[in-house]
């Protein structure tokens, strides 16, 4: 049997065909020399589901990743951005390739569900949480002993720019593209030290401003140029090492002008339960007749199991008449969309491409939970893109941030309470299937014989990877 062909998959988050042009000469040239296909988006078109589709060749009905987070019915808790690979309940592409080629190895560089995977090398963001209440930014690696070598050679991972108001922006802590640059260099480090057969590399730079200011903003060209420079460097690097490269994206981001607040709608209907804690309101999902776990343009709606069957229809009808809601999926709809899984909501609301769902449930901002004004991806019962902003109502935001950082440095407990509560600030989102293919994710391969059609399914990516490696 021929030896496997060494391959790198560069996941350029948010890249669509409409972005490839004068601002992206390296990606343009690679597309023109190879072949491009539009990828019919995963459902929902969000990071964890899309990546799981790509790496397993299955939909959420089989691999179980119904969103970036979901409601744990047994614990009565909403859980977002968990990292254990055991959550993905379908075989991964590197496992089948290892069976075919005993010498095969795989590196996962910042792709999600990166902890406790069967890949040979992995690196992923992972803060430490000492008992004194601090949050110490760091990375997790497998094997654990490569962590210190990578940090010694590359410096600390610029966690400040991975998510939050500093992401995709020039700050005193680093350049706008510092995160994707560091990830690219860590991929080069693993390649130089271990030469994996397959490298999976995650480059998130476009994701930030495409959501923050929208895909139609004039300044997006700067972001495109910055990621193109990084991609161009990686293409040259891998070319010199005889590694073939596939360019890929997870989803496209569309312009949005409407935020939908399903939990406020349910609260007005008397179905949502909140509890008072220290004068602030916390969602009590286990006690709620109905509540939504919002994730970009999809909202999983969970119903308390003791409700009458007619209640489901009542909830669905209320959602269907809500402006911006494109569809509400029940049993048949979930099966049709490949998301008929126990983790999925009893109903799934899907917005149109110009709308998105918030997790907001309070009716008075003064009663919002303390974490609402912070970057807190685990405590919020839904995804919150407003974390990309600093509250414009703060009179001196830079001083506020500096004071909070000083408090943190001195060891005081503090809240980095600088995030606004204004969903109208968000200008881009994803999750539904955009009408135009120009807003779909893409796959660019170096050999035109790899792609049989101009449009492929998200689950076809696994086959393309297997074909590339051989």
Domains, in order of start, for the chain: 7-255+434-469 (3.40.720.10), 258-426 (3.30.1360.110)
Inform me whether the pLDDT recorded for 299 exceeds 80: yes
Looking at per-residue confidence, does 450 or 350 come out higher?
Answer: 350
Full DSSP string of 392-461: TT-SSHHHHHHHHHHHHHTT-----------GGG--EE-SS--SSGGGSBEEEES-GGG-SSSEEEGGGH
Q: Which residue, among 422, 381, 387, 384, has the nearest Cα to 274 in the 3D structure?
A: 381
| Cis status, amide bond into 44, omega within 30 of 0 | yes
Q: How far apart are CA 360 and CA 365, in angstroms?
A: 10
| Cis status, amide bond into 143, omega within 30 of 0 | yes
pLDDT-based confidence at 452, cuts 50/70/90?
confident
Q: 243-297: per-residue pLDDT in tens?
A: 999 999 999 999 999 999 999 999 999 999 999 999 999 999 999 999 999 999 9
- Look at residue 448 in the predicted model and tell me its pLDDT: 81
Q: Which residue has the tokens 């955009």?
A: 434
Inform me whether the pLDDT recorded for 59 exceeds 90: yes
Asked if 131 and 167 count as a contact pair (C-beta separation under 8 A), the reply is no
Give start and end residues of each alpha helix (H) in 241-305.
262-268
Inform me whether the pLDDT recorded for 413 exceeds 70: no
- Look at residue 1 in the predicted model and tell me its pLDDT: 78
Q: How far apart are CA 432 and CA 443, in angstroms?
A: 19
The two three-digit tokens of residue 403, written as one number: 């004071």
pLDDT-based confidence at 130, cuts 50/70/90?
confident
Inform me whether the pLDDT recorded for 207 exceeds 70: yes
The rounded percent of the chain whose pLDDT value lies above 70 is 96
Backbone torsions φ then ψ of 430, nearest 5 degrees: -155, 170
Average pLDDT taken over every residue of the chain: 95
Distances (CA, A) of 292 to 303, 345, 369, 389: 9, 8, 17, 23
pLDDT-based confidence at 447, cuts 50/70/90?
confident
- Look at residue 403 in the predicted model and tell me its pLDDT: 62
- Look at residue 405 in the predicted model and tell me its pLDDT: 62
Which secondary structure element, helix H or strand E, spans residue 180, and what is its range?
helix 178-194
pLDDT-based confidence at 129, cuts 50/70/90?
confident
Residue 231 CB coordination number (10 Å): 24
**Burial classification of residue 396, based on how many CB atoms lie within 10 Å of its CB (0-12 exposed, 13-18 middle, 19 or more buried):** exposed
Inform me whether the pLDDT recorded for 396 exceeds 70: no
Which secondary structure element, helix H or strand E, spans residue 309, and what is its range?
helix 309-320
pLDDT-based confidence at 399, cuts 50/70/90?
low
pLDDT-based confidence at 404, cuts 50/70/90?
low
Q: How far apart are CA 362 and CA 368, in angstroms?
A: 6
Provide the whole-model pTM: 0.96
Distances (CA, A) of 284 to 130, 202, 289, 302, 355: 27, 35, 10, 12, 26
Inform me whether the pLDDT recorded for 137 exceeds 80: yes
């Amino acid at each position: 049997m021929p030896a496997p062909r060494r391959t790198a998959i560069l996941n350029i988050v948010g890249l669509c065909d409409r972005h490839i042009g004068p601002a992206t000469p390296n990606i343009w040239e690679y597309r023109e020399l190879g072949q491009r296909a539009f990828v019919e988006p995963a459902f929902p078109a969000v990071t964890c589901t899309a990546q799981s589709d790509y790496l397993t060749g299955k939909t959420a009905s089989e691999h179980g990743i119904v969103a970036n987070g979901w409601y744990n019915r047994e614990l009565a808790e909403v859980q977002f951005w968990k990292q254990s690979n055991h959550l993905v309940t379908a075989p991964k592409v590197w496992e089948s390739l290892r069976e075919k080629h005993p010498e095969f190895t795989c590196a996962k560089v910042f792709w999600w569900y990166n902890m406790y995977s069967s890949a040979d090398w992995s690196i992923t963001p992972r803060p430490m949480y000492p008992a004194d209440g601090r949050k110490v930014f760091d990375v997790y690696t497998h094997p654990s002993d490569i962590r210190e070598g990578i940090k010694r050679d590359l410096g600390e991972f610029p966690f400040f720019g991975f998510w939050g108001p500093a992401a995709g922006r020039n700050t005193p802590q680093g350049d706008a593209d510092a995160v994707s640059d560091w990830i690219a260099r860590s991929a080069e480090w693993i390649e130089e030290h271990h030469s994996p057969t397959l490298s999976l590399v995650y480059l998130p730079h476009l994701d930030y401003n495409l959501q923050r200011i929208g895909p139609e903003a004039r300044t997006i060209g700067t972001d495109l140029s910055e990621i193109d420079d990084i991609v161009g460097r990686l293409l040259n690097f891998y070319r010199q090492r005889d590694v073939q490269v596939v360019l890929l994206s997870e989803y496209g981001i569309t312009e949005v002008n409407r935020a939908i607040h399903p939990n406020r709608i349910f609260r007005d209907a008397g179905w949502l339960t909140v509890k008072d804690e220290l004068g602030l309101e916390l969602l009590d999902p286990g006690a709620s007749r109905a509540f939504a776990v919002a994730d970009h343009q999809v909202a999983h709606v969970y119903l308390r199991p003791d409700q009458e069957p007619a209640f489901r229809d009542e909830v669905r009808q209320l959602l269907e008449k809500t402006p911006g809601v494109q569809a509400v999926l029940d049993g048949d709809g979930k099966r049709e969309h490949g998301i008929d899984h126990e983790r999925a909501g009893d109903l799934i609301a899907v917005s149109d491409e110009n709308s998105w769902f918030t997790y907001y449930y309070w009716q008075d901002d003064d009663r919002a939970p303390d974490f609402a004004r912070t970057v807190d991806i685990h405590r919020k019962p839904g995804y919150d893109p407003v974390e990309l902003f600093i509250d414009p109502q703060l009179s001196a935001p830079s001083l506020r941030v500096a004071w909070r950082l000083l408090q943190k440095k001195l060891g005081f407990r503090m809240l980095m309470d600088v995030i606004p509560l204004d969903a109208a600030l968000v200008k881009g989102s994803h999750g539904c299937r955009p009408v135009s293919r120009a807003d779909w994710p893409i796959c660019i391969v170096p050999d035109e014989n790899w792609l049989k059609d101009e449009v492929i399914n998200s689950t076809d990516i696994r086959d393309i990877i297997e074909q590339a490696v051989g």
